[in-house]
Amino acid sequence: MSQIPTDFPTESPVGGAGPRKHNALKRYLSRFDDGEVVRWAFGGMLIGTIGVLGLDLRDLANSNGWWPTEITAPASSPEPILPPAVETGTPWPSSDPRRNVTADEARLAQPMSFVLETGGVLVAEGSIDPGTAARFAAEIKARGEYVRTISLNSPGGALDDAMAMANLVRAMGMSTEVADGALCASSCPLLLAGGLTRTAGEKAAIGVHQFYAASQVATAPAQAMSDAQATTARISRHLAVMDVDPALWLHALDTPPQALYYFSTEELAKYRLVTRPVVTARK
């Protein structure tokens, strides 16, 4: 009986590379410790298993409604340019000023712009956003020698900018006014207070409400209370320096941000926010 060979040739008899590839793989694997090879193999199997389980879990959750669908917060509606009047429980001492406002709401919603008209009247129209005080200062620097009166038509906005503008108006010795059909609300009366003389048309709408933080960042209650008191103190000092009765701002503290407390003609004179009546109504 012929003996069966136990050694195989390193090359295929027909020139193939099969055994050579097999031996090359054995030589490559021999570089690694057996335990390390087992660990790699087990890790690969574990990753594959987790992937399959994850896909199955996703399909199962979607089919059974375990995960809530994504909810998109509705876009916040813009604040009204002319908020409703606060309910005081007493009849209007004069006609409701809101009915006389002829301002273009789309224009008032834009950042405040400045137009110099005849007679040295600088019309300041639009919202007082952060940075308005700087733009106003640049306007006064460029054409302040021609300006005698600042005519306001604004739904208000940033408190600090309004007070900074008022300080500049007072330093320049200018007057302020709110013409018939115009609006001066929220922080705008703080700017109106800056005029050496301050006038308002019988059909002007002037009102205030509580200030509020535009930032959405949450603030600790104690810090929020401290900030509110400090801001109220700054407003009161500002009004006193401008020779306006700080009691005027009590109406703001009583009025939520969604509404306005509109001043009557008698109240405007009582709190000295208006120093003299309008001689010639502007339109």
pLDDT digits (tens, 9 = 90+) for 155-194: 999 999 999 999 999 999 999 999 999 999 999 999 999 9
Q: Which of 57-71, 93-107, 223-237, 268-282 has the highest mean pLDDT?
A: 223-237
Residue 84 is classified by DSSP as P
Q: Specify if 137 maps to a domain.
A: yes
Q: Specify if 165 maps to a domain.
A: yes
pLDDT higher than threshold 60 for residue 53: no
Give the domain CATH number at 119: 3.90.226.10
pLDDT in the model for residue 100:
82
CB atoms within 10 A of CB 74: 6
pLDDT higher than threshold 60 for residue 68: no
| Residue 242 and residue 179 in contact, taking contact as beta carbons nearer than 8 Å | no
pLDDT in the model for residue 228:
77
Q: How far from chain centre, in Å, is Cα 252?
A: 21
Give the residue numbers spanning the domain of 135: 97-212+221-270
Q: How far apart are CA 207 and CA 127, in angstroms?
A: 15
CB atoms within 10 A of CB 283: 9
pLDDT in the model for residue 174:
97
Higher pLDDT among residues 82 and 223, named by residue: 223
Q: Specify if 146 maps to a domain.
A: yes
Higher pLDDT among residues 46 and 228, named by residue: 228
pLDDT higher than threshold 80 for residue 38: no
HSE of 16 in the Cβ direction (CA atoms, 13 Å)? 8
Confidence (pTM): 0.67
Amino acid in position 77: S
Q: Specify if 89 maps to a domain.
A: no
* CA proximity to 150, closest of 119, 180, 128: 119
- Between helices 159-171 and 132-143, what is the axis angle to 10°? 20
Q: Specify if 68 maps to a domain.
A: no
Q: Specify if 12 maps to a domain.
A: no
Q: Specify if 194 maps to a domain.
A: yes
* Structural domain count, the chain: 1
Q: Specify if 153 maps to a domain.
A: yes
